[in-house]
Amino acid sequence: MWEKTMPVNEVREIITKTHLYLGAGAIQKFNDIAKDLVNKGIKKVAILTGKAAYIKTGAWDVVSKALEENGIEYLLYNKITPNPNSHDCDEARDLAVEFGAEAIIGIGGGSPIDSAKSVAIMCCYKENTTADLYEYKFTPDKALPIIAINTTHGTGTEVDRFAVVSLLEKEYKPAIAYEVCYPMYAIDDPNLMVGLGKGQTCYTSVDAVNHVVEAATSLVTSPYCVMLAKETIRLVHQYLPVALEEPNNIEARYFLTYASMIGGVCFDNGMLHYTHALEHPLSAVKPDITHGLGLAVLLPAVIRHIYPACSEVLAEILRPIVQLEGKENEAEEAALKVKEWLVSVGIKETLKDLGFTEKDVPKLVELAFTTPSLDLLLSLAPVKATKEVVEAIYRESL
Ligand SMILES: [Fe+2]
């Protein structure tokens, strides 16, 4: 297995649209990033993060020290919650503008990094609200530079142009995808991930698996997406059980982080469709639902519905989980084996366990079609996304 030959304690640079540092100890590269910010004339930054992880992971020690040593003033906004909302982004934007921030740093998982992307845009559009951005009332072509310090292995947001923020009043959880959302620098350091609990370890990796299942089967997929999807699923299948058993196993965290990152590149290219378009209404209606758990609950039914239309690709990328020939009539088996795999890593929940009933289905279907951006994702599904198909996926997931 070639992974054994990879020196996971050496930090390597990976250049996508974002300049990424990957490896155990990569957080130390923030010292170089801080110097580069000074070289670029940036003297003030705003930092968006959640309540505690930025400290617990050890990221803050390195980041705060590097900023101070390089004479960069900072504003710390540590109120970003899971499933972040537009009001918090507006508040952070107002504070960042008042402070005079010239770059935005997100420390955390998808929520702080997506908020950082949103605030980086909103600082350049002071007359607008974050809700305007997510309701597509304007198209941004500028943003402050973004630096993403990633502390979970699931979203891939540290290297992609997507961001998601909820609009609470409308129960919308839309996504945006703009060129200006690419972070300038990103850090993927497995040392920052070892504190993730079993649930988060699992849900974040399942998020990555969903990204690539969708990107490899969308109407705009490419051979590149299929290659990235194969590797993402192989690595998650290999290393997720290891990380669940041994949370401090750096090799496992490294390859889960790498899998999540290439999963981000995969859907940045191939986009998403059913599982994300149908999960966003779940966590919009109930913001306590973890994104990856919502996706896991929907995935078997999604596989059942799309398998006949893309059986060869799914058979190929799901090979570590189930041996299939790529024939249309294997849909049920594919769905069943994916469900069994999810149960094997600890996800047994159904939509009912998340608090939904038959009565909620019409509202969820409605939100899947009316939430800005989700209709676009649905239009990329390999099987035409009619209300009947969307409804069937929700019902089969109960
Ligand atoms: Fe996701």
Q: Would you say 103 and 68 are in contact if contact means Cβ atoms under 8 Å apart?
A: no
Convert the pLDDT of each residue in 315-335 to its tens digit: 999 999 999 999 999 999 999
pLDDT of residue 372: 93
Which ranges of the chain does DSSP label H, i.e. alpha helix?
30-39, 53-56, 59-69, 86-99, 110-122, 130-134, 198-217, 223-245, 250-270, 274-285, 291-306, 311-317, 331-344, 361-370, 374-379, 387-396
pLDDT of residue 200: 96
Convert the pLDDT of each residue in 65-116 to its tens digit: 999 999 999 999 999 999 999 999 999 999 999 999 999 999 999 999 999 9
d(CA 335, CA 303): 5
pLDDT of residue 64: 98
Q: How many angstroms does the Cα of residue 204 sit away from the middle of ligand 1?
A: 8
Q: Would you say 242 and 252 are in contact if contact means Cβ atoms under 8 Å apart?
A: yes
pLDDT of residue 16: 86
Q: How many angstroms does the Cα of residue 277 sit away from the middle of ligand 1?
A: 10
Confidence of residue 371 (pLDDT cuts 50, 70, 90): very high
Q: How many angstroms does the Cα of residue 217 sit away from the middle of ligand 1?
A: 15
Give the count of alpha carbons within 13 A of 296, CB side only.
29
Q: How many angstroms does the Cα of residue 59 sit away from the middle of ligand 1?
A: 23
Q: How many angstroms does the Cα of residue 146 sit away from the middle of ligand 1?
A: 20
Nearest to 54 by CA among 37, 32, 76: 76
Write down the residue that tokens 């994300």 correspond to.
276
Convert the pLDDT of each residue in 115-147 to its tens digit: 999 999 999 999 999 999 999 999 999 999 999
What is the 8-class DSSP label of residue 85?
B
What are the two backbone dihedrals, phi and then psi, of residue 160, each rounded to the nearest 5 degrees?
A: -120, 180
Q: How many angstroms does the Cα of residue 154 sit away from the middle of ligand 1?
A: 7
Q: pTM of the full predicted structure?
A: 0.96
pLDDT of residue 20: 97
pLDDT of residue 4: 87
Residue 1 has pLDDT above 90, yes or no: no
Q: What mean pLDDT do residues 272-281 have? A: 97
Residues with CB under 5 A from ligand 1 (ion): 207
Q: How many angstroms does the Cα of residue 35 sit away from the middle of ligand 1?
A: 32
The helix/strand/coil state of 144 is coil
Give the count of alpha carbons within 13 A of 200, CB side only.
17
Convert the pLDDT of each residue in 224-249 to its tens digit: 999 999 999 999 999 999 999 999 99
pLDDT of residue 343: 98
- Dig out the tokens for 262 from the structure: 């290439």
pLDDT of residue 235: 98
Convert the pLDDT of each residue in 9-27 to its tens digit: 999 888 889 999 999 999 9
In percent, the amount of the chain with pLDDT more than 70 equals 100
d(CA 67, CA 241): 37
Q: How many angstroms does the Cα of residue 291 sit away from the middle of ligand 1?
A: 7
Confidence of residue 183 (pLDDT cuts 50, 70, 90): very high
- The mean predicted confidence, pLDDT, of the chain is 97
Residue 2 has pLDDT above 90, yes or no: no
The helix/strand/coil state of 48 is strand
